[in-house]
Amino acid sequence: MQKKSLVLLILLIFVSACNKKEILYVQETPPSEPYPEQTEQIDIAIVPKVMEIPYFQAVQQGVEEAAKSSGATVHFKGPTTADPSQQEEIIRTFIKEKVDVLAVSVIDPDRLSPVLAEARRQGITVLTWDADAHPEARDYFINMVDAEMLGEHLLDSLAAQIGEEGEYIILSGSQSSLNQEEWLHWIKQHNRAYYPNLILQEVAYTNDNPVTAYQESKRVVKAYPDLKGIIGIASLGPPAAAAVLKEENVSDDIVIVGLASPRDMNEHLKKGDVKGITLWSPKKLGFLTVMIAKLMQDGTEIEDGMFIEDVGRIQVKGEQIIMGEPIDFTADNVDQYDF
């Protein structure tokens, strides 16, 4: 009897180890993809150079798309004319409103850098896009394209159309615009290196004003009778120049290349007055700016080759984020773009 119970006891010990879920090891699950806490609403302020021109309107569309997909609150406000003091005022208002991120297309870096630096001091993440401020005044500059590549591309396009010789002028936005000045620098550099017979006669400025653009275009066309080409490196340049050429009936003699919205150039391209125009997608730029602002606010490190949803891979060079390659618009594809 007691023998039986003893055997039973021993059996019990043996059996007790079997047939149940015995957890051996629990590995700590790596935190699932850093999901941003959506509890705090992020305020992002986007300040363009000027409100009512097609380029920045397209940017605004992209910004709104991005606001929808990222869930951030985005404020889009710029001066009515490209006036640095007006822009400064808008920036100050945003600083007072204590936005989380301030993204500015800087009209005049010399005038606006101090206020941006102040915004930074107050803990606001400061980005510049489209046009840069002085580096110490911002965290990142979101550049559309690589400046060197763009400058070379524009000059190459012109040279190909006019046969690598003759006079040309450049229509820039303003002297204070750092990236336009950089493009200009690369154009000149490229000119010196490869096209000895191409002569840059003048750099004219539109001041981001359609009227000034028109007037300047008219002036240069008249001033240089042997003019073969115009490179517009501010988006208002090429449309104004094309209109002037049309008026003067010299569309076939003078070639226009440069940066402009395809919508503005649609007619000129289709009629053959202008063969090709270059730009990036301002929508994409607006979208990317908001996404970068959001990522930075979430604490994500911005890395070279990073993939941004609906944008693609970005390049990061120091404190510069480069969106991608420029798009060439021709009569064939201009209808596909709605900006």
According to the binding rule CB under 8 A, does residue 18 interact with other proteins? yes
Considering only 105, 284, 289, 322, the residue that binds other proteins (CB under 8 A) is 284
According to the binding rule CB under 8 A, does residue 313 interact with other proteins? yes
Vertex 111, ends 110 and 114: CA angle to 5°? Answer: 90
Q: Which is nearer to other proteins, 203 or 288 (CB)?
A: 288
According to the binding rule CB under 8 A, does residue 298 interact with other proteins? no
Cα Rg of the chain, angstroms:
28
In 3D, which of 296, 292, 327 has the Cα closest to residue 66? 292
Q: Which of residues 19-38 bind other proteins (CB under 8 A)?
A: 19-29, 32-33
Q: Which of residues 218-237 bind other proteins (CB under 8 A)?
A: none
Q: Which is nearer to other proteins, 80 or 336 (CB)?
A: 336
Please give the Cα distance from 253 to 162 (Å, whole number).
9
Taking the mean position of all CA atoms in its chain, how far away is CA 84?
20
Q: Which stretch binds other proteins (CB under 8 A): 135-143, 162-170, 208-216, 283-291?
A: 283-291
Give the three-class secondary structure for 176. coil
Q: Which of residues 32-91 bind other proteins (CB under 8 A)?
A: 32-33, 61-62, 65, 69
Closest separation in Å from C-beta 25 to other proteins? 4
Q: Which stretch binds other proteins (CB under 8 A): 100-108, 207-215, 226-234, 330-338?
A: 330-338
Q: What is the DSSP letter of 335?
A: G
Are 295 and 268 within 8 A, CB to CB? no
Q: Which is nearer to other proteins, 5 or 39 (CB)?
A: 5
Instruction: Give me the count of residues in the chain.
Output: 339
Q: Which of residues 126-155 bind other proteins (CB under 8 A)?
A: none
Closest separation in Å from C-beta 82 to other proteins? 25
Distances (CA, A) of 73 to 101, 225, 242, 291, 307: 10, 52, 39, 12, 22
For the beta sheet containing 227-232, the strands, ordered from the edge strand earlier in sequence to the opposite edge, are 198-205, 166-172, 227-232, 255-258
Interface contacts to other proteins, rule CB under 8 A:
2, 5-6, 17-29, 32-33, 61-62, 65, 69, 280-281, 283-284, 287, 307, 309-313, 327, 333, 336-339
